[in-house]
Structure 1
Amino acid sequence: MKNLKIASIPGDGIGNEVVPAAIKVLETIANIHGGMKFDFTHFPYGCEYYLENGAMMAEDGLERLKDFDGIFLGAVGNAKLVPDHVSLWGLLIKIRREFEQVINIRPAKVLKGVKSPLVNPKDFDLIVVRENSEGEYSSVGGRIYQGEDELAIQNNIFSRKATERAMRYAFELALKRKKHVTSATKSNGIVYSMPFWDEVFKDVSKDYPTVDTDSQHIDALSAFFITHPDKFDVIVASNLFGDILTDLGAAIMGSIGVAPAANINVNGKYPSMFEPVHGSAPDIIGKGIANPLGQIWTAKMMLDHFGEEELGNLLLAAIESVTSAGILTPDLGGIHTTEEVTVEIIRKLANY
């Protein structure tokens, strides 16, 4: 039996509502379909932890987390308690960087029964591969002078190693899908990093002759996400461009509450981390109406990562069975609670 040790970090806000819901779903899959067992260990890291301890996680937090098979994260952030740059860099980004989670992947597709804001979404099914370690989010730069002479400098770092790594991941993923990769660029306006990005993309594509490619400037690509999302398969993007595109992908699905994500360590030295795209949603904390689908779909991605793709597909089928039956939380136009949606998904899984 496969025994998977998972670090659970519900984090802030609705993370404390949707993570327990998704854990119940994962435990149901393990109990019903056998062959695996989840061993969850809870860590109370987040903004409340910061207020008590002066840090978003324990001083030896990374040491505690490094030997787990995976990290299941809920949400990070509560700007009323802790500035966002402190909370994110003290927990989420700290884990991503220190555990070399160099790839971020986020799918977006039409879910049965979920109304897209697009008039005709045409059953789009795409996935964004985001370079997750450098690019526009590189912590290189500084501020000097005061008053009207004050100056801020932010350096974007693009290495061939990291750029090529993200692109190869995208091409390998495309081989399992519709064999098409789109590169998100802006080489007509960003004169050094983006032409470099284009060159690496062209070089890597030569090793994948069966995969079709195209390159789109990020502004046009964002528009095409609205007008023709069905035209895309795998999109590979820099850290910032990928971040923006995936929030847009969540929006055209109908709610950011349904969008999943995975931060992948590709060298096996550290665990990968799985988190929904949504934030802590302070406006609905404690109301019992948080959408659990993003966290549960994230659980599906975790199953896929551990080689349990059949169970992952079964879970996604259960999600769509529930949404197609109209069992939806208010963000999707429904009237159901977090618990009701979760219980129904568990019931569907039990009947497969």
Structure 2
Amino acid sequence: MMIYKIGLLYGDGIGPEITKSTESVLKAAMKKHGIEAEFPVYPMGWEGIEKYNEPVPQITFDGLKTCHAWVFAPHDSAAYPKEHFNKTNPSGQMRHHFDLFSNVRPARTMPGIKSHVGEADVVVFRENTEGMLPDRNMYKGLGEFMPDKDMALLVAVFTRKATERIAHEAFKLAMKRKKKVTIVHKANVIQMGYGLFKDVCYEVALQYPEVTVDDYHIDAMTAHMVRRLGDFDVIVTTNLFGDILSDLAGELVGSLGLSPSINTNGNQCMAQAAHGSAPDIAGMNIANPTGLILSAAMMLRWLDTRYQDSRLSLAADDIENTVDKLMELKVVTKDLGGTATTSGYTDTLVDAINA
């Protein structure tokens, strides 16, 4: 039987607290289904700076190469010393170094959590390696520069290869859901860059004739999501737009703090909650670990697909179903109007999985 190697990167702010919670939940669910795993810990964030003078030191990159997947906590790069803040942040480094081209961000209404848009269940596929984000679209150097102090220039990159592979990921999932994909772009203004993205997505769509396809400009899409998010299913878009739309979707269905995501490259998977490190509440035992816990459940499902091990999806079912039950029972942390502490919520979740 395979022994899975799942790395843990504790990160900054609330990162250590919610990662330890996620570790406890993962271990409980995997043990229940007889899944053997190792959980090596690698430095990232302030720990990496203090020990190795790098937010993501080489020892971490080397260790993660040997992992099937890893849990990546939030980082507080805005507070790093200038020499580190001016570099690509740890999240960008991970995506660039491991070519984690697919960022999958679901948003669904959850029991007991107030939604601003009624019932909804969408998945945003965000192309993760190029587009408008300058730290990810160059082989060497950054795509952002200033010729003088009063001018900033940004190079955006759109390629057929990157668009094809994120489109295939979106359409493959759509075949397992409602067979509907929405392409989001700005081809009416940025005609060549976003025009290429839109056209290539439609070309890929021809290989999935059962899937219904439509497209919207980004500005119109934000309005449609607020008005009728429940009408959408799978959304595929570029790096910057995917970041914005997935945050919007998460907040519309209840809270960005509940929003999970995974980043994948076909061979490895990084579980990463959509929210930040919340340094103002770090160490207070009130942080909500749900986003990262649900990200880990997504990671288990991805591992099942990769290694054809159905026990992993059963473990993911246990995690997601138990989270839903606790939400329905109002066993939630302070940010959701509850009284549970981070550790108390985690203990209750683990006990319910083991029951």
Could you list the runs of 5+ residues in structure 1 that have no partner in the other structure? none
* Structure showing the higher strand proportion among its residues: 1
- Pick which of 150-159 and 281-290 moved more: 150-159
What corresponds to 1:183 in structure 2? 183
One-letter amino acid matched to 1:290: A
**Shift in Å, 1:175:** 0.3
* Aligned pairs, number: 342
Label 1:284 to 1:144 Cα distance change in 2 as closer, same or farther (>3 A).
Answer: closer
SS of match in other structure, 2:156: strand
- Pick which of 317-326 and 48-57 moved more: 48-57
| Alpha-carbon distance between aligned partners in 2 of 1:227 and 1:95, rounded to the nearest angstrom | 35
What corresponds to 2:11 in structure 1? 11
What corresponds to 2:159 in structure 1? 159
| Alpha-carbon distance between aligned partners in 1 of 2:26 and 2:145, rounded to the nearest angstrom | 46
**Shift in Å, 1:144:** 4.3
What corresponds to 1:105 in structure 2? 104
SS of match in other structure, 1:215: strand
Matches within 5 A, 1:191-202: 191-202=191-202
SS of match in other structure, 1:79: helix
| Alpha-carbon distance between aligned partners in 1 of 2:37 and 2:87, rounded to the nearest angstrom | 27
**Shift in Å, 1:51:** 4.3
SS of match in other structure, 1:135: coil
Find 1:342's aligned residue among 330, 346, 349: 346
Find 1:122's aligned residue among 118, 121, 128: 118
Label 1:87 to 1:105 Cα distance change in 2 as closer, same or farther (>3 A).
Answer: farther
Query: 1:142-200 CA deviation, whole Å, 9 max, x = no partner?
Result: 434434xx322211111101101111110000001110000011111212111111211
CA contact (8 A) 1:13 1:78 kept: no
Label 1:287 to 1:87 Cα distance change in 2 as closer, same or farther (>3 A).
Answer: farther
**Shift in Å, 1:52:** 4.8
TM normalised by structure 1 equals 0.92
SS of match in other structure, 1:158: coil
| Alpha-carbon distance between aligned partners in 2 of 1:73 and 1:273, rounded to the nearest angstrom | 6
| Alpha-carbon distance between aligned partners in 2 of 1:84 and 1:207, rounded to the nearest angstrom | 47
| Alpha-carbon distance between aligned partners in 2 of 1:81 and 1:156, rounded to the nearest angstrom | 26
Could you list the runs of 5+ residues in structure 2 that have no partner in the other structure? 305-311
| Alpha-carbon distance between aligned partners in 1 of 2:81 and 2:242, rounded to the nearest angstrom | 26
What corresponds to 1:50 in structure 2? 49
What corresponds to 2:307 in structure 1? none
Aligned: 1:134 with 2:130 = yes
Query: 1:82-137 CA deviation, whole Å, 9 max, x = no partner?
Result: 45973872422112111111110010000111122x1xx33200101111111112
CA contact (8 A) 1:46 1:87 kept: no
Label 1:259 to 1:205 Cα distance change in 2 as closer, same or farther (>3 A).
Answer: same
CA contact (8 A) 1:77 1:87 kept: no
| Alpha-carbon distance between aligned partners in 2 of 1:103 and 1:85, rounded to the nearest angstrom | 26
CA contact (8 A) 2:107 2:122 kept: yes
